[in-house]
Amino acid sequence: MLTKADDFPIHQLPEPIAFSGTDRNFYDRYFFNGYTKTGDVFFAAALGVYPHVNIMDASFCIVHKGMQYNIHASRHLNMERMDTHVGPIAIEVVEPLKVLRITVGDNDQGIKADATFRARALPLKEPRFTRRNGPRALMDLTRMTQNGTWEGWVEIKGERIEVKRDQYVGTRDRSWGVRPLGAPDAQPMVPPMEFQFYWLWAPLNFDDCITLFHVNEDEHGEAWNSSAVICGLGEQEPEEMWKSHAELKFVPGSRHASAASLFYEHRKGGITRIDLTPKWNFSMMGLGYSHPEFGHGMHKGPLVVGGESFKLADQTYLPPHLHIQAFVTAKMTSPDGSTREGSGILEQLIAGPHAPSGFTGALDPAKG
């Protein structure tokens, strides 16, 4: 089947763009967040394309005055991957790798937006994520991450908030490849494997640079994917670290961090340390992660729009709120002793055993 995308010189296979290899779990996804440097206003958006189940879905969230508000939309893809709107939510690539726009039109959830992202720095390609469940590919994906500024407005329940470039920063990412989506496998692997996932991701914004850290670790604390980068603004090339690691303290009775320190070992010597102080947690279920009704790639019908809201203080660490992005303030100490102040997020998804953290079961919490 030919689609509009086939008129662009972007093919990777001798197939129409509507076909993405043979794995039904192939996906192509946008993610965005934006926030004031003090974290009093935060918003996030995502849009996912799932070609082999013929579904596109999207979400938009606002955190304001101690509340999180979410809108979700899902529709049949109809094979047209270039048509990046789902009900009231739309994403426009204004200038590739530099400028993108998110709009949220009229809907029953009381959430509206028109916000434009402009890059502060070059996009960063993270190492390829490949993880197997026995012989099957559980994850096999590529992701790029980019920090930027925001301009426009967001609105919740009739209250419009102006978003100004000198006040709002944030991060976007693009990922594509294979990861679980939609309905669970009708015939899972045997014998069943205990689910284990330890994931930290920390894109941060400082006045004169951006930083990025991530790590996936197994149950023994061994990293199977990790990276750390410091990058100047504009067209400056990123500096990739030789080694990096994170040290976390957990809120007693949970699996969410109360404090974190990131250690960047430079290839030319010296260590940069970044201390993170979490202020509050954004629940990633607002973007479909572990959402009981609007999970990624779930079949909802030709077009369905829904949403929910809740107090931040009412969240627990248990699903569907296990997966979070904590808004953090950051203090960077360079090898020469100089310091910078910044802000960003520390994304956390920690399930199953993790020996360095003292976790032995699926969701046992940190001890006091």
**DSSP state letters, 213-226:** EEEEE-TTS-EEEE
Q: What is the pLDDT of residue 7?
A: 79
**What is the layout of strands, in order, in the sheet containing 197-206?**
239-240, 223-232, 209-217, 197-206, 339-351, 324-333, 271-283, 257-265, 243-250
Is pLDDT above 90 for 12? no
pLDDT bucket at 345, cuts 50 / 70 / 90: very high
Query: In this structure, what token pair is assigned to residue 77?
Result: 């893809």
Neighbours of 154 (CB within 10 A): 27
The pLDDT value recorded for residue 343 is 98
Give the burial class of 167: count Cβ atoms within 10 A of its Cβ; 0-12 exposed, 13-18 middle, 19 or more buried: middle
Residues 173-190 have pLDDT tens digits of 999 999 999 998 888 888
What is the C-alpha to C-alpha distance for residues 173 and 124, in angstroms, rounded to an integer?
A: 9
Largest interatomic CA distance in the chain:
59
**Each residue's pLDDT tens digit, 118-171:** 999 999 999 999 998 888 888 999 999 999 999 999 999 999 999 999 999 999
Q: What is the pLDDT of residue 193?
A: 79
Kindly list the structural domains of the chain, giving each domain's residue range(s) and its CATH number in brackets, ordered by start: 21-178+194-357 (2.40.370.10)
Residue type, 94: V
Q: Tell me the two tokens of residue 80.
A: 């047209």
What residues does 326 pair with on adjacent strands?
Answer: 281, 346
281 phi, psi to nearest 5 deg? -115, 130
pLDDT in tens, 247-269: 999 999 999 999 999 999 999 99
Q: Taking residues 266-294, what's their average pLDDT?
A: 97
Mean pLDDT, rounded, for 306-324: 96
Task: Answer yes or no: is pLDDT of 70 > 90.
Answer: yes
| Percent residues over pLDDT 70 in the chain | 100
Q: Are the beta carbons of 88 and 104 closer than 8 angstroms? A: yes
Residue 294's closest CA among 59, 1, 117? Answer: 59
The reported pLDDT for the residue numbered 148 is: 98
> How large is the C-alpha radius of gyration of the chain?
20
Specify whether the CB–CB gap between 176 and 149 falls below 8 A: no
User: In the 8-state DSSP scheme, what is residue 319?
Assistant: T
How far, in Å, CA of 150 to CA of 42, rounded? Answer: 11
Backbone angles phi, psi at 86, to 5 degrees: -135, 105
Exposure class string for 33-62: b at 16+ Cβ within 10 A, else e:
bbbbbebebbbbbbbbbbbbbebbbbbbbb
Assign 19 to helix, strand or coil. coil
pLDDT for residue 199: 98
Which of 177-186, 232-241, 248-257, 328-337 shows the lowest per-residue confidence on average (mean pLDDT)? 177-186
Give every CB contact of residue 22 below 8 A, 6+ residues apart in sequence: none
**What pLDDT was estimated at residue 137?**
85
pLDDT digits (tens, 9 = 90+) for 86-95: 999 999 999 9
CA distances from 85 to 3, 88, 193 (A): 16, 7, 37
Of 13-27, 93-107, 138-152, 203-217, give the lowest mean pLDDT range.
Answer: 13-27
Q: What is the DSSP string of 250-275?
A: E-TTSSSEEEEEEEEE-TTS-EEEEE
Q: What is d(CA 342, CA 331) in angstroms, rounded to the nearest whole number? A: 6
Q: Is the pLDDT of residue 368 over 80?
A: no
